[in-house]
Structure 1
Amino acid sequence: MISGFQVALKNTIDVIAPPATPIQDFTYHWKQLMNFYASHKSNCKLTIECTGIPQHLDCLVDILLDEEKNDDNPGPCLEYLLQHKLLDWLATLANVESPPGMRLVCLLFFRKLLSHTKFPLLHQSAVYGPVQRLISLCSGTIPSAIENEEVKFLLTLCFLVCRYPHLTNIVNVSSNVSHETNMAMKNDSERMDIHSVTYIPAKKRNATNALFQPLNTQAITLINPNLFACDHQRRRSICSDKFKYDALKKYKKHNSKISNRKISVRSNESTSSRDTENSSMCSSPVLQKPSQYIANLDTIINQRNLDNCDKESDIISSSLHDVDVKLKDFEDLRIDVSDDGGNYGVNSKKQSLSISPVLDTSNSLLLDALISYLNTADNTVRIRACEGIMILASLEDPNFARTIAESDLSIVITTRLENLFNLIPAHVDPAEIDDIDVTWGLDSPLWTNEKKFPGCRQVAAYFMWVDYCNQLIKEAHPHVAHSLAKNIRLLFFEKVLAPALADHHVLLITSLVTETLRKITAPIFDIEVGYWIVGEQRDPVIAEVCSTSIYERLIENCYTDCNDLTLETLKLFEEILDKRNEHVLHCMMLSYLSSRGYYDNGAADSAIASWSDEEDEREREKKGALDFSREQSHSRTLAPSNIHRIVNCFLSLMPRQLQTDPGEDNYERYMTDWEKQYTKVKMDCALFAWPLEAVSIDDSGSYDSRPEADHCSSRFYMGPFISMLLDKVINIPYQKYEINLQLTIVISRLALLPHPYLHEFLLNPLLPLTPGSKSLFTCLQKVIKQLVSEVTKTPKYKDILRETRKHLLEDCSQQIKENILYESVVITEEFCKELAAIAYVKYQHSM
């Protein structure tokens, strides 16, 4: 009974006083928001939480979003927002922070509206103008308690630009300046019409307060350049001017001080038309790439404005009447509009805001704002700024990409990289660096919040930024990626890392460089790092000639007496080889071996030592020509017919009295691992223009070519890198186990490369060498000869060898005395088996 009575009462009330429409609710909340400023007659010290402004703004955006749920077309509330430039007023209030905290709630309002609306509003001149002004207010260089919300707002804009790439001009500093501001410029191009919100003494009240001037009902956000070309639009313009004329009459009635203004309907009509057309044609990038939503929005706004002229006139007139009543008691708040566009009071200068975006030397407002947050102390804010920069850098627009490439982004990125590198303490243990596994996101808290070792946080921060640089270059547009990679190479690798490899902290620096290269996976970044290592020239370095390349400096470090430095440098070389950079491989090794100066063409057993008798005979007939028949799909250099002789040569290197493995020829256990690795190496090197066969060019047709060949053959130079490796191989009996192990790893990485000359030089023991030349096999023969002469002198050396092998290879917990000589025997024996396995794996893949 009671519930039925309540329903009847509610129905009766709805008949007598119908519920308010969305547009009525929308205008109500906006007027309530504006009434706050009209009701304060002195400088307002209230915080935003003590006012009803946040609640009114929440209601406004909720009404806008609810309106979209019920209709796929723009509704009257959205039209009202755009036509009356409400966002412009909010941007002004956000700038002057009136009341304190207004900027935060305005950012929340803009972000919620732009991110949740289904219409692409950003192209509208009533939207992108205030958005640009808010972007200019967001700066990480100025300490702010709301920087988290600022960067969220900027990140929202990045997502919108990513969704609508044709709107990139909106976030750039361009000619998107309001027509009124351009008209206000007179003699000085830098002087603009500035509206300032400021509190002044009560007796200096200005009746022409722009904040409460009649709202212009002309829709300036339409983007149709032919807006007034048809009768339909002319009728709309006349109707709109009628509303404006009525509104101004009401305003003059309540404000006698502006009675001498001259109102011309015809003048207003022409000015409004020109303003709309200029704003549409000059500023909106949508003219270049229209969208379905944009066209739909314009059509609906035009039609609804035409059909609801009378209704809108009543709403605006009522709203203006209420505001004019408030103006009678309003004494303290004013917007001082200077007539000459540049002169305004001293007090107003402190809280001034330009209607147009602040002009800057950069070309992108949004990018500059995001860059300013890269050095903030808040890790979350910095990561969000990094995400926004990555989104902008990945856009496919070539003009926008060039803008980013020419900006200060690469310099700021590199400067931060250098600063983080310099913060790493010198006492960090290089052995700890290998265990660090971090990424640039928020998924590495253990390394940033806990101390794993002294200096852990600084090291982790550096590698997190290296990872971000790598990901940014990988995702960025090629123009941006090349600019970033080149500047990092020039300003960080060459300016900072190169000199550091020669100072007294070279051990730590080498370890850091190794881990840095391991983090770099972007192809463009790899290319620039390769240029840093070996230079951009591809010509081989002449022996005994001073060179300043990084890899030769690293080679010098391998010859020092410091075992730890030698070990770390060999690890760095391993990482360089794992990059599979063709330019680096060519400059370090292949340019020296491609002449095949190590091969003795006059040797009697050359036919037996190379592929096969038949292949050698065919090559002699071709006289060294490189044009192999198209039917040949495999390399006879990598898959010689005498592969079993080659394998047996490696396996029989170690004499029986020094063999520690009871299986003797048990090299098959290495096959599976090398099979996987060689498959990956072949894929990485598939696009390299490497020859298929190792062939000597027979230039005996020239009358003086043979003496020159004989002269050059005795001067074969294998390059500084291979020379260093072979010198280290010869010194195996006198080096620590860790160095010998790392040395065999580096040589194995080289032997895996499917280059015919490199393969022949390293993995063909039957190769006829020119006089004075040495190969990997001959160096191993010398090592084993030294081991036999030294080890056999010790009584019960076989028992010691077995214990040493068990300790090294079987992870035995038993502690034995370190003996370099016996450890060298074990590692040399296993190294020969690895070389045999690699040769056979490459043979199988080349058949």
Structure 2
Amino acid sequence: MLSRLGALLQEAVGAREPPIDLLQAFVEHWKGITHYYIETTDENTPAKKTDIPWRLKQMLDILVYEEQQQAAVGEAGPCLEYLLQHKILETLCTLGKAEYPPGMRQQVFQFFSRVLAQVQHPLLHYLSVHRPVQKLLRLGGTVPGSVTEKEEVQLTTVLCSKIQQDPELLAYILEGKKIVARKKACGEPDALPKDAASHRDKDCSHHGAPARPQRDGEPCGAQALNSPLLAETEELDGGTAESNLITSLLGLCRSKKSRVALKAQENLLLLVSTASPAAATYLAQSSPCCRAIIRHLCQLYRSMPAFLDPTDIAALEGISWRLPSAPSDEASFPGKEALAAFLGWFDYCDHLITEAHMVVADALAKAVAEKLFMETLQPQLLHVSEPSILTSTALLTAMLRQLRSPALLREAVTFLLGTDRQPEAPGDKPCALYAHLIGHCDHLSDEISIATLRLFEELLQKPHEGIIRSLVLRNLEGRPYVARGSPEPESYEDTLDLEEDPYFTDSFLDSGFQPRAKPRPAPATSYDGKTAVTEIVNSFLCLVPEEAKTSAFLEETGYDTYVHDAYGLFQECSSRVAPWGWPRTPIPLDLHEPERPFFEGRFLQVLFDRMSRILDQVGSPISPLLHTF
């Protein structure tokens, strides 16, 4: 008795469930979705309250499970083949566009994202996959502020990740059916995988369907699948369809939801940083990526008020593409949000150029220079209206403050200073914008002069050798400021002895103190620049009355604090110019070279002219006696 019971238990444990036919289950779930459109008449029931989300989830699970079982074989399973042959994604895209039942578009976006992310088999090469993906992206991008923004950005995240892994997919997603047309012309396969033939006959014999069983998966009789929509799903992609991924990302970047906008910007950054030279060349030359990005930048610029206070522009700091909104603790002014949006997107463009492939970076930088600098900013800088000059100069200064990418800095330098690097002459005709900016440094309006000098100050702090060479060094090369017949001046180190300072000798004339002869410096003695600076400052302090000096009892008010700050700035400048390979000593004069008139250049000339008038009174003196005194 016990033995028979044990045998029965062993037989029950060893019994196995009959194997599940995955393809049959997959087809049943798909037919369950299509039958909903045939049998249901209530058009107001949300998609979440139907069995459509559950059936889509089951179809996804079957695809993933089937792929795991086929991992050793490395071929597409019958369920995946059925998905491709019967254009299920095409039909779902049509259902999503019809938004029937309500919320169906959200379910379609989620299904597309999950299939592309979880199914490891390459799918985007196939026409029956990348064409509905294109249409779905274009569908989402046409609805500003859509409720499906979260799902849209998830789909773009998956697509950009796939492109990062396989840059060849970029052309499929952007061009679409043009790729297929070229492949057909060359005799290449288009939509079906290589292993599709092994399952096609099996699929047809199993279900009794023809070789192209497209009607088997179509929801016949449903209002959502009427003839206009079907015709639209079959039309060729063209026009704006080529740029659907780019336009979708840019549309999501303008989302009011900060997380959605930030994620879209990160996806676009991932897209342009592809390491493939061919994909980067295609992205820069054959796609509207650069034009679309810069077009949005120019739109943000034009959306700002025509005139902004330069003080407000300079005070708005800390704007980043990750945090584009203006800080709430700062004072509000008209146009603050528009200004913050523009500076945030400009910072994003600068970051794109820094991180993008070199080909894309150069194309973006040239587009910024052409569309923003040349076509938008230059007319305002050359305008005769004082408010226009002030606003555009302050905005350009703010942009230079945020600029970090070498490619965009190179274009900005060319825009502001031109390309001529030969020594200047008084009769030359320099770049029109450069000449105007130099003239603005000594403008009748002090506000314009100060704003333009701040622009040059910001420009001189940038790590670009062409800036200092164009403004100063090109006019000093060859040392034309030294007369050819005069002897070489003594080194600077030999002129720093305090005993030769006339202020010291004058103060001791009555005591009979006479300066001793200057000793010859020892050859091995090294020059300490820091000590020399201290001696110079001490020499100057001998002239300052005690009443005018800062109290020695106050902390951090002595001159050494300022010397320390100046030394830090000097070290910063030294590290910046170190890669440029400047000589540490002046080039010896060529005595046989003919002497030419020295011209310090327009930039130094205007600075020296302003320095010569630094003591001029701005207004009328209170008393002529005080003025003459």
Q: TM-score range by the shorter chain?
A: 0.7 to 0.9
Hey, what does 1:81 align to over in structure 2? 80
The match for 2:549 among 651, 661, 680 is 661
Hey, what does 2:604 align to over in structure 1? 722
Q: Distance in 1 between matches of 2:220 and 2:358?
A: 58
The match for 1:483 among 347, 359, 363 is 363
Q: CA deviation at 1:723?
A: 1.6
Q: Distance in 2 between matches of 1:436 and 1:168?
A: 38
Describe the superposition over 1:565-611 as per-residue Cα deviations: whole angstroms up to 9, x where unpaired: 3332222221101003211211111100112121234346x443567
Please tell me whether residue 410 in structure 1 is matched to residue 290 in structure 2.
Answer: yes
The match for 2:265 among 378, 381, 386 is 386
Cα contact 1:474–1:523 (8 A) shared by 2: yes
Cα contact 1:364–1:403 (8 A) shared by 2: no
Q: Computing the radius of gyration over CA atoms, which structure comes out larger, 1 or 2?
A: 1
Q: CA deviation at 1:93?
A: 3.3
Cα contact 1:362–1:368 (8 A) shared by 2: no
Describe the superposition over 1:159-178 as per-residue Cα deviations: whole angstroms up to 9, x where unpaired: 12113334333323155777
Hey, what does 2:407 align to over in structure 1? 524
1:469/1:641 CA distance change after superposition, 3 Å: closer
Please tell me whether residue 679 in structure 1 is matched to residue 575 in structure 2.
Answer: no
Hey, what does 1:108 align to over in structure 2? 110
- Greater mean deviation of Cα atoms: 158-167 or 530-539: 158-167
2:93 aligned partner, one-letter code: A
1:243/1:32 CA distance change after superposition, 3 Å: closer
**SS of residue matched to 1:392:** helix
Q: CA deviation at 1:111?
A: 0.6
Q: How does 1:738-749 map to 2 (within 5 A)?
A: none
Cα contact 2:29–2:55 (8 A) shared by 1: yes
Cα contact 1:173–1:365 (8 A) shared by 2: no
1:695 aligned partner, one-letter code: I
1:425 aligned partner, one-letter code: P
Q: Distance in 1 between matches of 2:322 and 2:249?
A: 18
Please tell me whether residue 731 in structure 1 is matched to residue 623 in structure 2.
Answer: no
Cα contact 1:133–1:356 (8 A) shared by 2: no
Q: How does 1:205-604 map to 2 (within 5 A)?
A: 221-223=192-194, 237=198, 240-241=200-201, 244=204, 247-248=207-208, 332-333=221-222, 348-349=227-228, 351-355=230-234, 358-360=237-239, 365-371=244-250, 373=252, 380-406=259-285, 407-426=287-306, 428-445=308-325, 447=327, 452-501=332-381, 502=383, 503-505=385-387, 506-603=389-486
Cα contact 2:131–2:176 (8 A) shared by 1: no
**SS of residue matched to 2:608:** helix
Q: Distance in 1 between matches of 2:412 and 2:64?
A: 51
1:129/1:422 CA distance change after superposition, 3 Å: closer
2:582 aligned partner, one-letter code: W
Hey, what does 1:35 align to over in structure 2? 35
Cα contact 2:177–2:237 (8 A) shared by 1: no
1:400/1:362 CA distance change after superposition, 3 Å: farther
Please tell me whether residue 158 in structure 1 is matched to residue 129 in structure 2.
Answer: no
Q: CA deviation at 1:142?
A: 6.8
Q: How does 1:637-786 map to 2 (within 5 A)?
A: 652=539, 656=543, 660-661=548-549, 667-700=559-592, 708-709=594-595, 712=596, 715-734=597-616
Describe the superposition over 1:398-456 as per-residue Cα deviations: whole angstroms up to 9, x where unpaired: 22212221233333322322222233235643223333234554535554899733322
Hey, what does 2:55 align to over in structure 1? 56
Hey, what does 2:92 align to over in structure 1? 93
Q: Distance in 1 between matches of 2:86 and 2:145?
A: 25
**SS of residue matched to 1:150:** helix
1:719 aligned partner, one-letter code: G
Cα contact 2:374–2:415 (8 A) shared by 1: yes
1:580 aligned partner, one-letter code: P
Describe the superposition over 1:523-558 as per-residue Cα deviations: whole angstroms up to 9, x where unpaired: 111100000110122123321544344343233222
Q: Distance in 2 between matches of 1:547 and 1:598?
A: 22
1:30 aligned partner, one-letter code: W
Q: Distance in 1 between matches of 2:550 and 2:45?
A: 89
Describe the superposition over 1:699-754 as per-residue Cα deviations: whole angstroms up to 9, x where unpaired: 43xxxx5xx41xx2xx3111111122222323333479xxxxxxxxxxxxxxxxxx
Cα contact 2:90–2:233 (8 A) shared by 1: no
- Greater mean deviation of Cα atoms: 485-494 or 527-536: 485-494
**SS of residue matched to 2:386:** coil
1:678 aligned partner, one-letter code: F
Q: Distance in 1 between matches of 2:454 and 2:335?
A: 22
Q: Distance in 1 between matches of 2:587 and 2:551?
A: 37
Q: CA deviation at 1:457?
A: 0.7
Unmatched 5+ residue regions in structure 1? 1-7, 184-218, 228-235, 252-262, 273-315, 337-346, 614-635, 737-788, 794-847
**SS of residue matched to 2:578:** coil
**SS of residue matched to 2:315:** coil
Describe the superposition over 1:365-412 as per-residue Cα deviations: whole angstroms up to 9, x where unpaired: 533443455556665554443333222211122222122212333333
Q: CA deviation at 1:44?
A: 5.7
* % identical equivalent positions: 25
Q: Distance in 2 between matches of 1:578 and 1:731?
A: 26
Cα contact 2:294–2:367 (8 A) shared by 1: yes
TM-score by length of 2: 0.76
Cα contact 2:70–2:76 (8 A) shared by 1: no
Q: CA deviation at 1:182?
A: 6.8
**SS of residue matched to 1:353:** helix
Cα contact 1:530–1:584 (8 A) shared by 2: yes
Hey, what does 2:170 align to over in structure 1? 168
Alignment coverage as a number of residue pairs: 570
1:58/1:429 CA distance change after superposition, 3 Å: same
**SS of residue matched to 2:245:** helix
Q: Distance in 2 between matches of 1:417 and 1:552?
A: 27
Cα contact 2:418–2:431 (8 A) shared by 1: no
Unmatched 5+ residue regions in structure 2? 1-7, 496-522, 619-624
**SS of residue matched to 1:733:** coil
Cα contact 2:324–2:341 (8 A) shared by 1: no
